[in-house]
Amino acid sequence: MPAKMERTSTPGIFKRGSRYVVVWRDAYGKQRKDSFRTMAEAREYQGKRRQGDERHAYSHARFTDYSHDWLRTYTGRTAYGLSDSTRKDYKRSIERWAIPFFARKKIGTIGPRDVRAFVKHMEQEGARLPTIRKTLAPLKALFATAYEDGDIQANPTVGLRLRIADDRRRKIRALTREELRLIIGAVPEAHRPLLTFLAQTGLRISEATGVTWADLDLGTKPHVKVRRQCYKGHVKALKTQKSRRDVPLTQGMTAALLRLRARSYHGEHAPVFCSRVGTHLSSHNLRSRVLKPATRPLGLEWVGFHTFRHTCASMLFAPAQDGGGAKNVKQVQEWLGHADPEFTLRTYVHLTDGGVGPIDFLDDALDF
């Protein structure tokens, strides 16, 4: 039976038999013990440990307090900074999900197992995969900042993998040409140019509502310069550098925009697709007052504004009716403003040829 530990004159150091024991707690609150031959060795070790604890003193802060401080001071991890709207989204996600779950837990005691339990909790509460990902974004940024600042000894979100079986997830769907024509024909005439523009350019709804007349070149080589977005009523910079791009316009779309300019022009820097008084459109109002009333009677209630972006990708990948070739993955990536072609391929692989494609050209190449 081991000897009983006895207190010494130095708090945290005990004597057991002929040896001295330093008692301390790790980042997860578990008690640890280290044994030394002499009191001098034990005190030296305890001093080094305390210096290390001071470097991570903030790790003893409760998650609630730390997250509130972080939300006030976080400036983003890119050169673009953090917009007010993104900060509000982060605050909403953390206060809705993370704070109630982690409650009074100390920031330095949260480990990978806790984060996985948090994801499982969200899933059990009925949160869908997009919501979970949206919530993890600020949580990952918070722990990354804490680690870089030396407030915690390890980032518990590093290497996190989402393995969520969500039967409600649907493969990305694109409209057929007939479905597209039906929807555009069903919306009020004033909004048809916008939906046509979305389907032909593949712009995100926030990018389309942010386009001004100064961003349009309707001359010999018509195109739209994507330079900003309008999100929740606020005009702001694009999320990534790759989102900044020039997208060509068809002759038909150019003519439609010229007609629109003739009847609703409010200046070079006014939005192309605007309200009656020339202000930026609200995507929320457009969805509830224009898009949904048009799609429900058609049995296409699953259609959202991003569906038009998927439809554009579908048409770009498909061979042209006049015999022209389809766009390749790199071209579609540049067109849509994706960060890399791998994302484009992962997202739209089911829209490309499912097999190996025609092979008769090999006969010509080998003189058969």
Share of the chain above pLDDT 70, in %: 86
Distance, in Å, from the CA atom of 256 to the CA atom of 290, rounded to the nearest integer, reads: 19
Give percent of the chain above pLDDT 90.
54
Positive or negative torsion for Cα 333, 337, 343, 348? negative
pLDDT tens digits for 227-282? 999 988 889 888 788 899 999 999 999 999 999 999 999 999 999 999 988 899 99
Joined together, the tokens standing for residue 177 give: 């040409």
pLDDT at residue 67, as a whole number: 93
Mean pLDDT across the chain, nearest whole number?
A: 86
Residues 177-351, CATH architecture: Orthogonal Bundle (1.10)
Name which residue leads in pLDDT, 283 or 350.
283
Q: Is the pLDDT of residue 182 over 90?
A: yes
The whole-model pTM stands at 0.65
Q: How does residue 367 score in pLDDT terms, banded at 50, 70 and 90?
A: very low
User: Phi-psi region for residue 350, left (φ > 0), alpha (ψ -120 to 50) or beta?
Assistant: alpha
| Dihedral of the alpha carbons of 208, 213, 216, 218, in degrees to the nearest 10 | 130
pLDDT of 169 reads 46
Q: Is the pLDDT of residue 320 over 70?
A: no
- CATH class as words, domain 63-148: mainly alpha
Assign 339 a pLDDT band (cuts: 50, 70, 90). confident
pLDDT value at residue 163: 72
Please write the tens of the pLDDT for every residue from 61-99.
889 989 998 999 998 877 667 878 889 999 999 999 999
Task: Tell me what the mean pLDDT of segment 14-20 comes to.
Answer: 91
Q: Where are the beta strands (DSSP E) in the chain?
A: 6-7, 13-16, 19-25, 31-36, 216-217, 223-226, 228-231, 234-237, 245-248
Say yes or no to pLDDT of 361 above 50. no
Q: Taking a C-beta distance cutoff of 8 angstroms, is the pair 276, 284 a contact?
A: no
| The one-letter amino acid at 14 | F
Count of CB atoms within 10 A of residue 274's CB?
19
pLDDT: is 303 or 32 the higher one? 303
pLDDT at 55 over 60: no
Question: Domains of the chain: which residue ranges?
Answer: 6-55, 63-148, 177-351
Q: 368 falls in which pLDDT band (50, 70, 90)?
A: very low
Rounded Cα gap, residues 51 and 35, in angstroms: 19
Q: What are phi and psi of 195, to 5 degrees?
A: -65, -40
The predicted pLDDT at position 355 comes to 47
